[in-house]
Amino acid sequence: MGTWDIGPFDNDTAADFSYRVDEAPEEKKAEVLRASFREVIETGGEYLDSDVAVEAIASAALVAAQCPDGEPVTTSYGPKNPLPALPAELRPAAVEALDRVLAEPSELLELWEESDGEEWKAGVLRLRTVLSGA
């Protein structure tokens, strides 16, 4: 995975995921995000692949951007087209997915713990706070 910073879209996998979001018909964009959360949540206690986790974090950032106190996704690696209003029921799924990303066994968590893990984890927890407070 090519990663250049700690943000939700600061890696190749999330940038590719953004393209998938852009390519989805407007009425299917929420389902693309929902599917990324579902894929993470359904791993249960099994090993969570980093690419799957990265897509869920990117999805959570897109949902959080529409919440009160959410930060807009302004990076050039995020979706180019604005998202329609997303259903509020995505928020609890996003929180559950983020909780799973931050729980063992998680490849992405392991990778970040080898480098700048605390700063990355703080960013994921900020997303979680926005989503759970909305």
Residue 16 belongs to some domain of the structure: yes
Would you say 109 and 57 are in contact if contact means Cβ atoms under 8 Å apart? no
Residue 78 belongs to some domain of the structure: yes
C-alpha span between 61 and 101 (Å, rounded): 14
Report which of 92, 84, 76, 102 is spatially closest to residue 130, judged by C-alpha positions: 92
Average pLDDT, the chain: 96
Residue 2 belongs to some domain of the structure: no
Q: How many structural domains comprise the chain?
A: 1
Residue 7 belongs to some domain of the structure: no
Residue 28 belongs to some domain of the structure: yes
C-alpha span between 86 and 67 (Å, rounded): 10
Residue 97 belongs to some domain of the structure: yes
Residue 6 belongs to some domain of the structure: no
Predicted local distance difference test score (pLDDT) of residue 45: 87
Predicted local distance difference test score (pLDDT) of residue 134: 66
Residue 105 belongs to some domain of the structure: yes
Backbone angles phi, psi at 3, to 5 degrees: -125, 135
Q: Which residue spans within 49-127 are E strands per DSSP?
A: none
- Write out the residue range of the structural domain in which residue 85 sits: 12-133
Tell me the chain's radius of gyration from C-alpha atoms.
13
Q: Which pTM was predicted?
A: 0.96
Compute the average pLDDT of residues 59-72: 97
